[in-house]
Amino acid sequence: MTPGILRIAFKLLVNDRAKFSALLIGITFSVFLMVQVTSLFAGVLDRSSSTVTNIGAKLWIMDPAVNTIQNVIPVPDYLLDAVRSIDGVKYAVPLFSGGGLAKLKSGNYQAVSVLGLDDTSLLGRPLLEQGRIEDIYAENGFIVVHDAEFAKLENPTVGTEFEINDNRAVIVGIAKVAANGLFGIPTLYTTYGRAIQYLPGMRFTISYILAEPKAAADIPQIKQEVRKLGYMVLTDAEFEQRIADFYKYKTGVGTNIMIMTIVSFLVGLSISGQTFYSFVLENLDKFGALKAIGARSSVLIYIILFQALLSGLTGYGLGAGLCAVVIFLARLRLPDYAAMITFGTLSLAFGMVLVIAAISGYAASRRVLRIEPFEIFRG
């Protein structure tokens, strides 16, 4: 198709600014909804496995019934010794994960998540902004994560005291982590021994066993040996995927997001399709004139597809940009806002915009191809 034909197609499209604006608004709104809801879902999935990301262990050993990091099923102490004796395991340490109730200096109560690190290695320790990691061994020492939930503990500083389950706790460090949590609960780190002392539970106290293989080739053998003991080994990537699958397929979150995405797609299809078809009907005389002067049917189809594609891509850019601005502003006001735009969310929206453009163009081209040149001179 020559540049002259494309220029004609462009002028026909933008000549009626009201129709063109209505077409762009419909596609922009549809893309905005699709990117917004899928970005929110991506943010939820990312934060649901934040503990796995922050700890950074290569292998996680757990009960086979565990679906998420919060779904703690303690494993027996003998399993730790058994894992350490497996050929291919460089080292293995326990991790405690549990929840407690903190009484702040103001007298208010706040639920907290407590991670107990191995007393010897402190595997999974966070990077400190203030304080020294050695002080975690001090009496009643805890490290608090400086994230979006930090203010819920009344912005503690090094030396701040409060109670956890009627036990004295002292903040000895303030840390930052790679990923924020999902459930709006502040996170505290301490030693494994102190964690099981402050948060008594069932007779087994090990929430997870963190292991390091000597080489990547040893992982299948480690999985096989642990499976014989009746337990499960997952790499960090596999554990994150297991958590994501749980939220996608075993909760209502995935279904609700899918429904909202389909609705936004149908809204965009109906608005843009109807507007574009109306635009073509109002310009039938111009398409008929092109056909009368010798334009082939393929040229008319190219014109319509070019117009539909240009409208779709312009609306896609506006919708994705608007969503990025909204998420940016929301994070300024709401630090724990979970939405995040990913390549997958943009790709999904882009694919749906192409479908919208294709369907709109197909419906319009069928009407144009039925034009007879003499009709434009009738009357």
Out of 230, 264, 296, pick the residue that ends a domain. 230
170 and 285, same domain (yes or no): no
175 has a pLDDT exceeding 90: yes
Q: Which residues contact 41 (CB under 8 A, 6 or more apart)?
A: 253, 254, 257
119 and 225, same domain (yes or no): yes
Q: Within 13 Å of residue 256, how many CA atoms lie on the same side as its CB? A: 8
59 has a pLDDT exceeding 80: yes
- The pair phi, psi for residue 178, each rounded to 5°, is -75, -35
Asked whether residue 167 is domain-assigned, the answer is yes
How much is the pLDDT for 207?
A: 93
- Residue 33 belongs to what domain range? 3-47+252-377
Report the domain count for the chain: 2
90 and 213, same domain (yes or no): yes
259 and 365, same domain (yes or no): yes
- Using DSSP's 3-state secondary structure scheme, residue 320 falls into helix
Asked whether residue 61 is domain-assigned, the answer is no
| Stretch 111-117: mean pLDDT | 92
178 and 310, same domain (yes or no): no
Q: 245 or 335, which is more confident? A: 245
> Percent of the chain, pLDDT > 70?
94
Q: 55 or 363, which is more confident? A: 55
Asked whether residue 71 is domain-assigned, the answer is no
197 and 268, same domain (yes or no): no
| Stretch 129-153: mean pLDDT | 90
How much is the pLDDT for 266?
A: 79
24 and 86, same domain (yes or no): no
94 has a pLDDT exceeding 90: yes
Residue 336: which of 187, 182, 186, 188 has the closest Cα? 182
223 and 258, same domain (yes or no): no
Asked whether residue 54 is domain-assigned, the answer is no
Q: 16 or 359, which is more confident? A: 359
Out of 177, 195, 230, pick the residue that ends a domain. 230
Pairing of strands 109-117, 187-191: parallel
102 and 225, same domain (yes or no): yes
Asked whether residue 162 is domain-assigned, the answer is yes
Asked whether residue 237 is domain-assigned, the answer is no
89 and 146, same domain (yes or no): yes
Report the run of H or E that residue 315 belongs to, with start and end.
helix 297-333
| Stretch 56-72: mean pLDDT | 91
Asked whether residue 344 is domain-assigned, the answer is yes
How much is the pLDDT for 295?
A: 67
237 has a pLDDT exceeding 80: yes
36 and 112, same domain (yes or no): no
2 has a pLDDT exceeding 70: no
352 and 291, same domain (yes or no): yes
Q: 21 or 9, which is more confident? A: 21
